[in-house]
Amino acid sequence: MKSSASPQQDAPGPLQGQAGHAVQSSRLVKSAEDAPVPDKSAEAAPLQWFAAKTRMHQELKIKSRLDALGVECFLPLKEQVRILREKKQKVMRPLVPRLIFLHCRREQLYPLINEYFVPLSYIPDLETKRPLVIPDRQMKDFMFFVDFARDSIRVINDKLRPGDRVRVVKGDLAGLEGELIRIKGHKRVVVRLQGLFSVAAGTYLPRHFLEPILPPTEQA
């Protein structure tokens, strides 16, 4: 699930992590003089995934502002059915209210709040007290999961016991890596987001759709 980009080929936004994800917004950055001074150390720093809280019901607006600033972000959505004028309509709602993910350099986090006034509150790592970093592999599997299991995905906040590492080799979720965990009597493929929550597919995956992922010591 990628942020849509304008076909306009202007210079990238001042906080852009990767080229081509969004164009600069004239409402937020009026000229090059308004852009922060480039930080050579920041340019060499790796892009990482961070989780942030937004104001209630402001998730889509925050995503639009981040897109305009050239910051790659991911807003997980789910489909809901609501009744409007006695007719059923499908609408997209945030999978987890007030939660959005940013893919940027650590040095970019606080200028977004202090210089660009984006109302974000970063979720901290409980050990370091710094903004929580989510491993790339976990985010990749999570985004893949949301894209292909949107209708059946379940968010699990309870702590789960570790399960066997498996890879999905058949079906729409082929390529997904997760853990095989028994939940309420049924085995489900679960993807954990470190320090946040886990997600599981509500639908059953046959055993022959899965292959075990051996520990590195057993792969020789």
Tens digits of pLDDT across the chain (220 residues): 444 444 444 444 445 443 333 323 323 343 333 444 344 455 668 999 999 999 999 999 999 999 999 999 999 998 888 887 888 888 889 999 999 999 999 999 999 999 999 999 999 999 999 999 999 999 999 999 998 887 788 899 988 888 999 999 998 889 999 999 988 888 899 999 989 999 998 778 888 999 999 877 655 5
For the chain, give every domain's residue range.
Answer: 1-133, 135-220
Distance CA 72, CA 101 (A): 9
What pLDDT sits at residue 49? Answer: 98
**Rounded to the nearest 5 degrees, what angle is found at the Cα of 18, between the Cα atoms of 12 and 23?**
30
Strands (E), 95-145: 99-104, 121-122, 133-134
Q: What pLDDT, on the 0 to 100 scale, is given for residue 183?
A: 87
Chain centroid to CA 113: 19
Q: What is the pLDDT of residue 45?
A: 84
Give backbone dihedrals phi and psi of 60, rounded to 5 degrees, phi first.
-70, -35
Give me the CATH code for the 1-133 domain, please: 3.30.70
* pLDDT (0 to 100) of residue 220: 52
Query: Is the domain covering 135-220 a CATH 2.30.30.30 domain?
Result: yes
Rounded to 5 degrees, what are φ and ψ at 55?
A: -70, 155
Distance CA 191, CA 189 (A): 7
